[in-house]
Structure 1
Amino acid sequence: MASVLCLLLQIYSLLILVRVVFSWFPISPDGSAAILSGFLSFVTDPVLRPLRKALPPIRFGSTLLDLSPIVAFFGIALLQNFICA
């Protein structure tokens, strides 16, 4: 059971990483990338949205830096250390 949970946590981390990378590029609403982006948002928003609400993006020069994926990675890493170690 723990190995299945460890695998799911690893997959979820990967999905967050892919979402972060996707956010760096413009995505056409008509393309297949938009479908993947929508799926990634649907899957990762339940974790990232509350984190984003508790820790709003910080201004970094002329852009905003969203720290919620970083906090989520640390949280998942902690869970993996407790469950998978």
Structure 2
Amino acid sequence: MTSLFQILMLLIDVAFFIVIAHIIMSWLINFGVLNLRQPLVAQLWDGLNRMLEPVYGPLRRRLPMMGGLDLAPLIVILGLYAVEIILRNNVSLFL
């Protein structure tokens, strides 16, 4: 059962890094460092959007409009940390 706990923690870490990659890439695109006309950048951006839009979409509909500020990635990161804390506090169930 310890391996199940480790697999769950790995999945949370991977999801966290995907969200962080999406945030950084969106900044780089908005500041003109990355160009979406480049095929590799466009494919990476499209892949990240396809992975995260099912998570961000419902959150964006529930959150109030904040102008140009998107709080959905912050909520997702906080949710991932909350799940990680819950799992770590209940690690005895996996032993």
TM-score normalised by length of structure 1: 0.84
Structure number with greater CO (CA < 8 Å, separation at least 6) is 2
Deviation for aligned residue 1:19: 0.5
Q: Which structure 1 residue ranges, 4+ long, deviate > 4 Å from structure 2?
A: none
- Return the letter of the residue paired with 2:78: F
Look up the match of 1:76.
80
Deviation for aligned residue 1:76: 0.5
Look up the match of 1:46.
54
- Answering whether residue 17 of structure 2 is matched by residue 9 of structure 1, we say no
Between the aligned residues of both structures, percent identity stands at 25
Q: Specify the SS of the correspondent of 1:58.
A: coil
Distance 1:20 1:56 in 2: 20
Please say which structure displays the higher CA radius of gyration: 2
List gaps (5 residues or longer) in structure 2. 30-34, 90-95
User: Over residues 22-48 of structure 1, what are the superposed CA-to-partner deviations in whole Å (9 max), with x where a residue is unaligned?
Assistant: 111333234201111111111111111
Q: How many residues align?
A: 81
- Return the letter of the residue paired with 1:8: L
Distance 1:57 1:9 in 2: 28
Look up the match of 2:23.
20
TM-score normalised by length of structure 2: 0.76
Q: Per residue, is there more helix in 1 or in 2? A: 2
RMSD in angstroms over aligned alpha carbons? 1.4
